[in-house]
Amino acid sequence: MKVSNELFDLEAFLNRWVQRLAPAWYANQAVRQIALSNMGTLNPSSYLAHRWMSLASIISACEQGLPEKHPIFAPLHPLLQKLLVSKKFDRLLNLTTITGVEVSSQDDKDYASLAHWAIAQPNLPPCSTADEFDTLLNQHFGKGSTPIKVIYREWDGRYYWINREEPVVVAAVAKFATEKQREARVKAEIHVESVHEATLERIRQQFWWLLLAREQADAIHALLNAAHLPVAVTSFESRRDDLAFLIAPKHNPRLNRILLTLIQNRSSQEVVEFGRFLSRHHYAFRNQ
């Protein structure tokens, strides 16, 4: 046992010595061997929109977590502020396209979508015949009614309704329309949330924006700090405090080599290049 302790101490001493002598080389070897955790589902399905991944929350957390007035990270702040854009359209919207809602009193149990929630509800308003369907549609969404307010997220293709009451009527009408292949178009104020592509491209050109488990992000951050390489760790979003972003500039060849080693042969469950993730997910709003 004594010999094992001595060997362990010698190994630790040699590691510290190599790290001090060649910190960038040591970091490159360490990230090659580090085990990365499975991050699970980033953008879960739910009939409650606040359980989805929120790009606005992510951007806010990144801004708050970046070093203040740091010359290397200063250019990223205005880019993040311009990344998410919104535009309003007044259009007719088919209620069957609504995936989720903002609020519900029945939030103790989750469902994959508003349609799944509707199937599980025993007390929806009567809507089993064409007459009942037309009556509900006209009473709640007909002439003189206020347009419903919805958000459409082009980066994941989901609509959600900014509701103030339990979504029983919308759910009942949409359920019947889906089952009977009927149109359920209502007046809507649609706010289309989009990623500004030119801004995203500038971020991707200038910075690494890697998402991984917070424990490993902190460990890699410590390795890079020891090598005197510029890097920051920021939160992902409050819903997932087990994840974090590793953010670094792309103008440093040594740093680039280390981070390329990190992501090489890794799955998207272990590390995500978040800028690339956003660029590959786009579901254009049909402005009709």
pLDDT along the chain (288 residues), means of 10: 47 54 79 95 96 96 90 95 97 96 88 95 95 96 94 97 95 96 96 98 98 97 94 95 97 96 96 97 84
Which is it for the CA torsion 227, 231, 232, 236, positive or negative? negative
| Nearest-angstrom CA–CA distance, 42 and 234 | 16
- Is 208 within 8 Å of 254 (Cβ atoms)? no
**Among candidate residues 162, 185, 159, 166, the one with its CA nearest the CA of residue 174:** 185
Pull the structure tokens for residue 274: 């978040």
What is the structure's pLDDT at 2?
43
Cα dihedral 165, 190, 58, 236 sign = positive
Q: Do 52 and 155 touch, CB atoms closer than 8 A? A: no
Contact 76, 232 (CB under 8 A): no
Hey, what are 267's tokens? 């799955």
pLDDT for 288 equals: 56
- pLDDT at position 209 is 98
Q: Are 177 and 183 in contact (CB under 8 A)?
A: yes
Residue keyed to tokens 């003189």: 144
Q: Which amino acid is at 157?
A: G
Q: Is 196 exposed, middle or buried, given 0-12, 13-18 or 19+ CB atoms closer than 10 A?
A: middle
Q: What is the dihedral of CA 204, 205, 207, 213, to 10 degrees?
A: 30
pLDDT recorded at residue 190: 98
Could you give the CA distance from residue 41 to residue 51 in angstroms, rounded to a whole number? 12
Residue type, 237: E
Question: Which pLDDT does position 67 carry in this prediction?
Answer: 87
Which two three-digit tokens encode residue 41?
């589902």
SS3 category, 271: coil
Q: What is the pLDDT, as a whole number, of residue 135?
A: 97
Tell me what pLDDT residue 10 has: 46
pTM here? 0.89
Residue 141: count of CB within 10 angstroms of its CB: 21
- Who's near 103: CB < 8 A, 6+ residues apart? 48, 163, 164
The answer to whether 52 touches 43, Cβ cutoff 8 Å, is yes
